[in-house]
DNA sequence: GCCTCATAGTCAAATTGTTGAATAATCAGA
DNA sequence: TCTGATTATTCAACAATTTGACTATGAGGC
């Protein structure tokens, strides 16, 4: 049950509604954890039942009311317990890599296209992380912020996401180029 | 059902038993897909039932008999169909990143230790990928191999794994160092 | 007025993945 | 000869994730 901890970690940095969390998990936290909206709502319900978060109704005009959640002391304790337990190895599952692994026996064209799409979405994420990091840093340069700033956790995970997307983008582009090159030379041979 | 395609892709490069696949999925293919042994045996049974692979019994002396599997024409066709379908975005789930995200409210010591452990396992994987790539390349240098070699799919995914582990290692080490530094300066302040 | 998009959330079913426990054979070393 | 590691596989229970459908309200564009 680790989605639980991802949600608790996200709630450390403020109050969020289920809907807002879906946005965060869609892109920001998606860096290290993805979850579908249905999962988040269900998990928030369970967390509230276990008194690890508390919800309160926010009445809005002009749009539907929402429930926002805050982490409780018990929730923080649970997060601390989790942090001292040994970390599971990173779980990674990638369709596209499976296709590249098999590319010798496939038509390379669709794989090349998908590599380029992946590179493009990586570029979008890169820009997002850069912007987020600028916002988190405020006026400080990165070095000073990391040494003296408050709240570096989210910054550090953004850095990890940034590096990941950067290397993803490079690998996708060079791999796509290479497969194109080979497809051309095969035709001419 | 994507484990299915990962298994088919792995079987492109030869005959494997369930047990051998668990080894591959433990480290080599784990690069882009992880699966528990139980999952693999179950999936192989289903694949055989669907005629996407064929199994045959291999009688061994000195150790238990085994069943080895080969991809069929139908299996290859299924893999080709899969390759042209749009790729799902990479799924990534990382406990350790969740902990780092929350580190401002946690005791940093255990997180630092876990970062260093992760860096060490990344170093092991790096060595493994380097060795695998050397084996795949044979006598050729990387450039020539990639341009002219046969069977570059597994090499390309090894490259991806190599890059991933390299950046993981760097991030873990610099992050651990930084958290150590901050822990020290906090104490002295 | 109608269509679509964004906000805000829920329900159920089906599929996948994880955990724990078993079985069974052989080999290497104390 | 006992112990533990490696090879080889299976079963069952449980937890987590994915997919698809569904209900609302309000805003903006045509």
Which tens digits make up the pLDDT trace of A85-96? 998 988 889 999
What DSSP assignment string belongs to B115-166?
Answer: HHHHHHHHHHHHHHHHHHHHHHHTTS-HHHHHHH-S--HHHHHHHHHHHHHH
Q: Judge if the beta carbon of B63 is closer than 7 A to nucleic acid strand D.
A: yes
Kindly identify which residue of chain B lies nearest to residue A176, measuring between CA atoms: B156
**Does A89 fall in a domain?**
no
Domain limits for position B45: 3-84
Instruction: Using a 7 Å CB cutoff, list residues 59-118 of B near strand C.
Output: 61-64
Kindly identify which residue of chain A lies nearest to residue B107, measuring between CA atoms: A80
A27, A49, A84 — which closes off a domain? A84
**Does B77 fall in a domain?**
yes
**How much of chain A, in percent, has pLDDT values that exceed 90?**
76
Which positions on chain D have an atom < 7 Å from some protein CB?
6-12, 15-21, 24-27
pLDDT band of residue A143 (cuts 50, 70, 90) is very high
Q: Which nucleotide is nearest to B17 (CA to C1')?
A: D8
Rounded CA-CA distance B136/A156 in Å is 36
End-to-end CA distance of chain B: 54
Alpha-carbon distance A107 to nearest alpha carbon in chain B (angstroms)? 8
SS3 category, A64: coil
Alpha-carbon distance A66 to nearest alpha carbon in chain B (angstroms)? 25
Instruction: Tell me the longest C-alpha to C-alpha distance in chain A.
Output: 69
The pLDDT score that the predictor gives to residue A163 is 95
**Does B40 fall in a domain?**
yes
* Chain-centroid distance, C-alpha A130: 14
Q: Judge if the beta carbon of A63 is closer than 7 A to nucleic acid strand D.
A: yes
Residue A189 contacts B, CB cutoff 8 Å:
no
Kindly identify which residue of chain B lies nearest to residue A92, measuring between CA atoms: B92
Intervals of chain B under pLDDT 50 = none
User: What's B48's domain CATH number?
Assistant: 1.10.10.10
The dihedrals phi and psi of A66, each to the nearest 5 degrees, come to -140, 165
Burial, B36: exposed, middle or buried (Cβ in 10 Å; 0-12, 13-18, 19+)?
exposed
The pLDDT score that the predictor gives to residue A59 is 84
Q: Cβ contacts (< 8 Å) between A117 and chain B: which residues?
A: 87
The pLDDT score that the predictor gives to residue A172 is 98
**Does B43 fall in a domain?**
yes
The dihedrals phi and psi of A23, each to the nearest 5 degrees, come to -70, -45
From the CA of B36, how many Å to the C1' of C19? 11
Kindly identify which residue of chain A lies nearest to residue B189, measuring between CA atoms: A148
Residues B75 and B126 in one domain: no
- The average confidence (pLDDT) of chain A is 91
Q: How many domains does chain A have?
A: 2
Q: Judge if the beta carbon of A56 is closer than 7 A to nucleic acid strand C.
A: no
Rounded CA-CA distance A135/A170 in Å is 25
Mean pLDDT, range A1-18, rounded to an integer: 92
From the CA of A154, how many Å to the C1' of D25? 34
* A30/A179: higher pLDDT: A179
Rounded CA-CA distance A137/B151 in Å is 46
What are the distances in angstroms from CA B148 to CA A6, A105, B43, B143, B144?
45, 15, 35, 9, 6
End-to-end CA distance of chain A: 55
Q: Judge if the beta carbon of A49 is closer than 7 A to nucleic acid strand D.
A: no
| Cα angle, residue A63 at apex, residues A59 and A66 outer, rounded to 5° | 45
Rounded CA-CA distance B90/A93 in Å is 6
The dihedrals phi and psi of B92, each to the nearest 5 degrees, come to -135, 130
Residues A109 and A163 in one domain: yes
B65, B84, B103 — which closes off a domain? B84
CB count, 10 Å around CB of A150? 6
Of A155, A96, A148, whose CA–CA distance to B97 is shortest? A155
Residues A26 and A74 in one domain: yes
Q: Which residue, chain included where needed, has tokens 């269900």?
A: A42
Q: Judge if the beta carbon of A86 is closer than 7 A to nucleic acid strand C.
A: no
Of A66, A83, A118, whose CA–CA distance to B100 is shortest? A83
Residues B116 and B149 in one domain: yes
Rounded CA-CA distance B64/B49 in Å is 23
**Does A35 fall in a domain?**
yes
**Does B160 fall in a domain?**
yes
Residues A47 and A104 in one domain: no
B84, B111, B135 — which closes off a domain? B84
Rounded CA-CA distance B20/B13 in Å is 13
The pLDDT score that the predictor gives to residue B187 is 73
**Residues in CB range of B138: below 8 A, 6 or more apart:** B145
């Amino acid at each position: 049950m680790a989605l639980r901890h991802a949600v608790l970690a996200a709630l450390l940095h403020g109050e969020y509604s289920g809907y807002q969390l879906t946005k965060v998990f869609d892109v920001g936290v998606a860096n290290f954890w993805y979850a579908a909206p249905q999962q988040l709502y269900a998990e928030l319900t369970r967390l509230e039942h276990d008194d690890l978060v508390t919800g309160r109704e926010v009445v809005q005009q002009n749009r539907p009311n929402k429930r926002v959640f805050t982490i409780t002391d018990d929730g923080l304790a649970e997060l601390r317990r989790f942090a001292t337990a040994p970390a599971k190895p990173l779980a990674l599952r990638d369709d596209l890599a499976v296709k590249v692994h098999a590319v010798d026996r496939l038509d390379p064209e669709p794989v090349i296209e998908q590599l380029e799409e992946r590179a493009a979405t990586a570029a979008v994420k890169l820009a997002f992380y850069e912007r987020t990091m600028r916002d988190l840093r405020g006026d400080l340069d990165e070095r000073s912020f990391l040494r003296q700033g408050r709240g570096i956790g989210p910054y550090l995970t953004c850095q990890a996401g940034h590096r990941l997307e950067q290397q993803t983008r490079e690998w996708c582009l060079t791999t796509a180029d290479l497969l194109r090159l080979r497809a051309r030379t095969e035709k001419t041979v």
